[in-house]
Amino acid sequence: EPTVVIVGAGQAGAECAIALRQQGFDGRIVLLGDEGHLPYRRPPLSKAFLSGKSSQDALYIKSESAWDDLAIDCRPDIGVEAIDRGSRTLHLFDGTRIAYDKLVLATGGRTRTLSVPGAEHPNVFCIRTIDDVLALQEEFVPGRRLVIVGGGYIGLEVAAVAVEKGLATTVVEAEARVLPRVGCDLLCDFFAEAHRRRGVELRLGTGVHAFEGEERAEAVVLADGTRLPADLVVVGIGIVPNTELAAAAGLDVSDGIVVDAQTRTSDPDIHAIGDCSYHANAFYGRSMRLESVPNAMEQGRVAAAVLAGKPAEHRAVPWFWSDQYDLKLQMVGLARDAERQVLRGSPEDGAFMVFHMAGDRAIAADAVNRPQEFALARRLVGERIPVQDAQLADTAVALKDLLA
């Protein structure tokens, strides 16, 4: 009976295993993870789980018995040390081996660390895993002074939870604006203002020089010399894809494990999916690495279909969301090639959209508290439907009428 082994029991690996069964694959499926937790969803880690509104149980994608029912051998406490492609065998950290016919790498990424003095202090935290949040929660107490390094979506989500909980919260961002990697000026200004209004202090355009203190970080010293006293620090400056296993096995690796639109690596028996993959996207006709749940799930499904012998390719338009306070941000498409922006609705009302235009097409769209219109915007972008700026800007024109 053929064996598919999936390395990495995260969002992509779990979806791939489930989708394999849905596709009718009846061979053996082994899902290996190294966190000691059954597969879980990471987005709540910086939102409802951090705030205490959601329990740890609610994070898990399936219960232990549900994995058993699918005949998926889910072993979340066994890391993979090496791939022997010649004998199609994995060497596990517990000293055992496991043979595969097809291998799926879903190893995700690890948090990027700051290489400044004091970064190793015990009150300097990051947020990637359940265990990271459990450690942080002990110090995440009202009245404490929290400095967040990084004004990306994770840093801002943590800031929103923290200030609502009563921590004195400062965000330090090296770039001149928050959400520097993803947002346009309008969106970045809107979120900066939303945080300031609720009491978050923003320090933009300056990096971190050091964490001062003997046994704990007691202050964050910025590149411009400012000294911010701190009881705890959260660093959210992005991730590094886990590509070492693939590279050591001789697979092609660039900014991620290189795969085609069928999720195949340079070895046709090995696939790679999710945050760790530098993948071809057939919609764009080029390759990219993405860090998002929709991408992890979509690639998991494509890999499963291909492994089950069905035609499939990855051509999904990327989309993403972030929740901060009562603000739901949703983004679709790649805005970087946009020629101009069109605003629909008004930021003052706290509900609006920004369309990123190239020629007579919207190539990307951002929505704040506009979930229904966002669903339609995904189709506008994904189906490359021609539209006029004036129609998008006019809230009296229903987006669904533009799709017809």
Report the 10 Å Cβ neighbour count for 386: 10
Minimum CB–partner distance for residue 388 and ligand FAD (Å): 31
Nearest-CA neighbor of 157 among 42, 46, 59? 46
Binding residues among 332-361 for ligand FAD as defined by CB under 6 A: none
Q: Which of 66, 63, 58, 95 is nearest to 79 (CA)?
A: 95
If binding means CB under 6 A, how many residues of this protein chain bind ligand FAD?
37
Q: How far is the CB of 396 from ligand FAD (least distance, A)?
A: 32
Q: How many Å apart are CA 97 and CA 259, to the nearest integer? A: 25
Residue closer to ligand FAD by CB (options 169, 212) is: 169
Using the rule CB under 6 A, give the single segment among 30-38, 223-231, 347-355, 389-397 that binds ligand FAD. Answer: 30-38
Question: Do residues 163 and 199 touch, judged by C-beta distance below 8 A?
Answer: yes
Among 235, 296, 305, 399, binds ligand FAD (CB under 6 A): 296
Residue nearest to ligand FAD (CB): 10
Nearer to ligand FAD, 47 or 392 (CB): 47
Calpha distance 208→151 (Å, rounded): 13
Does 31 help bind ligand FAD (rule: CB under 6 A)? Answer: no
Which pairing describes strands 256-259 and 253-254: parallel, antiparallel, or unpaired?
Answer: antiparallel
Binds ligand FAD by CB under 6 A, chosen from 179, 232, 293, 302: 293
Of the candidate residues 4, 5, 6, 13, the single one contacting ligand FAD (CB under 6 A): 13
The reply to whether 106 sits near ligand FAD by the rule CB under 6 A is yes
Q: Judged by CB under 6 A, does residue 9 bind ligand FAD?
A: yes
Question: Residue 147 or residue 293: which is nearer to ligand FAD going by CB?
Answer: 293
Contact with ligand FAD (CB under 6 A): which of 19, 108, 243, 305? 108
Q: Which of residues 78-97 bind ligand FAD (CB under 6 A)?
A: 79-80
Query: Measured between alpha carbons, how far is 315 from 317 in angstroms, rounded to an integer?
Result: 7
Choosing from 123, 170, 242, 265, the residue that interacts with ligand FAD (CB under 6 A) is 242
Residue 256 · residue 276 · CB < 8 Å: yes
Question: In the block, which residue shows the tokens 């609006």?
Answer: 352
For ligand FAD, the closer of residues 107 and 262 by Cβ is 107
Instruction: Give 220-265 as a 3 state SS string.
Output: EEECCCCEEECCEEEECCCEEECCHHHHHCCCCEECEEEECCCCEC
- Indicate whether 146 belongs to the interface with ligand FAD (CB under 6 A): no
Does residue 321 interact with ligand FAD by CB under 6 A?
A: yes
Q: How far is the CB of 376 from ligand FAD (least distance, A)?
A: 20
Q: Decide: is 298 part of the binding site for ligand FAD (CB under 6 A).
A: no
Residue number with CB closer to ligand FAD (105 or 362): 105
Do the strands 102-105 and 208-212 form a parallel or antiparallel pair, or are they unpaired?
unpaired
**Comparison of 7 and 387: residue with beta carbon closer to ligand FAD:** 7
Q: Is 5 in the site for ligand FAD (CB under 6 A)?
A: no
Which of 154, 280, 387, 402 touches ligand FAD by CB under 6 A?
154
**320 is a site residue for ligand FAD (CB under 6 A):** yes
Q: Which of 89, 102, 109, 35 is nearest to 249 (CA)?
A: 89
Stretch that binds ligand FAD, among 53-61, 186-194, 246-254, 286-294 (CB under 6 A): 286-294
Amino acid 266 reads S
We find the least distance from the C-beta atom of residue 324 to ligand FAD, in angstroms, to be 10
When asked if residue 170 is in the footprint of ligand FAD (CB under 6 A), the reply is no
Judged by CB under 6 A, the residue of 103, 161, 280, 291 near ligand FAD is 291
> Residues, the chain, total?
404
Q: Does 42 bind ligand FAD (CB under 6 A)?
A: yes
- Binding site residues, ligand FAD, CB under 6 A: 7-13, 32-35, 42-43, 45-46, 79-80, 106-109, 127-128, 154, 242, 245, 274-276, 291-294, 296, 320-322
